């Protein structure tokens, strides 16, 4: 009975010791665990634990089923997007109820009793407040004022760490001797990770996705990433972000994806999260974001039109 419960929990949480003992991963010709294929990180688990759950890190089976039932209901446009002026997600297959979701018993992606992002350092709070103050009122001045996501440069989910984007949550892993390639559908970027022990690039060379170096620790692929740009923004952390990701194939259909992020200039301590990557039949589709990014031009044109209307109103109010 205990074993049965254990196995069910394993299937749900993808992290059971029992599984690791009885299941051996398929291997590439050079003997490494084969992580290749198309995977999805779609999830209903929030990054941070709801405060009313306290230190409770895992749901029971019953609680998880109830949570799933509540979470997998198509939500109204304004709830999902923050505005009424949006298309219905369900019409375009963008609702989580319309995609495969990788389930877990976790109550938050963040592991440990706190289950929440640690507090920002005073330095980070000041930095973020200053940036926000400088940007205020200039959000629509020009394309440079719009985010890198809206400019189709890097999508917020790409990281690393790789976070579930909410839809099109697919990634593909390809292995070659000495290298691992990780492609994320949105927005088409691939990280090529050398595994030969070479050092990180000099600090002067920085990339949108940072600079990744990998190694095997037993059957776990460990990827260490530094050298981000000051324009990359992971919850307030920018060029000093340090990410360590761990990929462990735990069964035929699941990779356990763990990450630890560290930035003493942003958080009071490092923090870690874990989520399953579920195997998907694929394929990954092209996502040529720039080619039809009319949204950014429309946003700026909208802002100019609003300014014009407001200026005309102000002129009318002027006394003769």
Partner 1 sequence: MLVRLSIGIALLGLLVAAAPALAHHAFGAEFDTARPIALRGTVTMMEWVNPHSWIHIDVKGPDGTPVNWMIEGGSPNSLMRLGFTKNALLPGMEIVVDGYQAKDGTNKGVGRSLTFADGRKLFLSESTPGAPGELPKK
Per CB under 8 A, which of residues 119..138 are in contact with partner 1? none
Three-state DSSP at 234 gives strand
Residue 101 in contact with partner 1, rule: CB under 8 A: yes
Residue 74 in contact with partner 1, rule: CB under 8 A: yes
- The whole-angstrom separation of Cα 181 and Cα 191 is 6
Residue 81 in contact with partner 1, rule: CB under 8 A: yes
Three-state DSSP at 254 gives strand
Residue 311 in contact with partner 1, rule: CB under 8 A: no
For partner 1, the binding residue among 2, 21, 91, 204 (CB under 8 A) is 91
For partner 1, the binding residue among 1, 3, 85, 205 (CB under 8 A) is 85
Beta bridge partners of 183: 172, 190
- The whole-angstrom separation of Cα 275 and Cα 103 is 9
Residues 170-209 that bind partner 1 (CB under 8 A): 185, 187
Residue 145 in contact with partner 1, rule: CB under 8 A: no
Residue 11 in contact with partner 1, rule: CB under 8 A: no
CA distance to 134, 136, 138, 139, 227, per residue, from 131 (Å) = 5, 9, 11, 12, 21
Residue 306 in contact with partner 1, rule: CB under 8 A: yes
Considering CB under 8 A, how many residues would be counted as binding partner 1? 71
Are the CB atoms for 116 and 108 separated by under 8 Å?
Answer: yes
Cα 146 to its chain centre, rounded Å, is 20
For partner 1, the binding residue among 23, 92, 208, 216 (CB under 8 A) is 92
For partner 1, the binding residue among 4, 133, 199, 285 (CB under 8 A) is 285
Residues 27-56 that bind partner 1 (CB under 8 A): 44-48, 50
Residue where the block lists tokens 């014009």 = 308
Buried residues in 43-80 as b, exposed as e (16+ CB within 10 A): bbbebebeeeeeeebebeeeebeebeeeeeeeeebeeb
- Shortest gap between Cβ of 72 and partner 1 (angstroms)? 6
Cis peptide before 187 (omega within 30 of 0): yes
Residue 125 or 309 with smaller CB distance to partner 1:
309
For partner 1, the binding residue among 161, 165, 210, 214 (CB under 8 A) is 165
Kindly state the tokens that stand for 63. 């609680």
Are the CB atoms for 48 and 264 separated by under 8 Å?
Answer: no
Residues 221-260 that bind partner 1 (CB under 8 A): none
Residue 145 or 229 with smaller CB distance to partner 1:
145
Residue 265 in contact with partner 1, rule: CB under 8 A: no
- The whole-angstrom separation of Cα 260 and Cα 140 is 34
Residue 61: what are its φ and ψ, rounded to 5°? -55, -45
Residue 88 or 123 with smaller CB distance to partner 1:
88
For partner 1, the binding residue among 62, 79, 217, 252 (CB under 8 A) is 79
- Shortest gap between Cβ of 209 and partner 1 (angstroms)? 16
For partner 1, the binding residue among 305, 310, 311, 312 (CB under 8 A) is 305
Residue 294 in contact with partner 1, rule: CB under 8 A: yes
């Amino acid at each position: 009975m205990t074993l049965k419960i254990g196995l069910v929990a394993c299937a749900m949480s993808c992290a059971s010791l029992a599984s690791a003992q009885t299941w051996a991963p398929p291997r590439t010709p050079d003997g490494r665990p084969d992580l290749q294929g198309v995977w999805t990180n779609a999830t209903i688990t929030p990054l941070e634990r709801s405060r009313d759950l306290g230190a409770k890190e895992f749901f029971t089976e019953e609680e998880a089923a109830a949570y799933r039932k509540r979470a997998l209901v198509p939500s109204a446009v304004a709830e999902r997007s923050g505005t009424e002026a949006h298309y219905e997600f369900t019409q375009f297959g963008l609702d989580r109820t319309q995609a495969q979701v990788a389930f877990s018993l976790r109550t938050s992606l963040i592991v440990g009793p706190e289950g929440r992002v640690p507090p920002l350092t005073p330095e980070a709070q000041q930095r973020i407040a200053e940036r926000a103050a400088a940007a205020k009122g200039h959000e629509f001045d020009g394309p440079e004022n719009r985010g890198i996501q809206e400019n189709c440069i890097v999508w917020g989910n790409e990281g690393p760490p790789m976070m579930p984007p909410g839809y099109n949550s697919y990634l593909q892993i390809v292995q070659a001797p000495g290298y691992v390639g990780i492609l994320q559908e949105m927005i088409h970027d691939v990280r090529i990770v050398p595994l030969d022990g070479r050092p990180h690039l000099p600090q002067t060379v920085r990339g949108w996705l940072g600079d990744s170096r990998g190694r095997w620790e037993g059957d776990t692929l460990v990827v260490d990433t530094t050298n981000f740009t000051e324009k990359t923004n992971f919850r307030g952390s920018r060029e000093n972000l340090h990410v360590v990701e761990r990929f462990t194939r735990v069964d035929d259909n699941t990779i356990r994806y763990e990450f630890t992020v560290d930035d003493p200039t942003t958080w009071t301590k490092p923090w870690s999260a874990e989520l399953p990557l579920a195997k998907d039949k694929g394929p990954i589709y092209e996502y040529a974001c720039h080619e039809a990014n009319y949204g950014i031009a429309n946003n700026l044109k909208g802002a100019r039109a609003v300014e014009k209307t407001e200026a005309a109103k102000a002129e009318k109010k002027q006394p003769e």
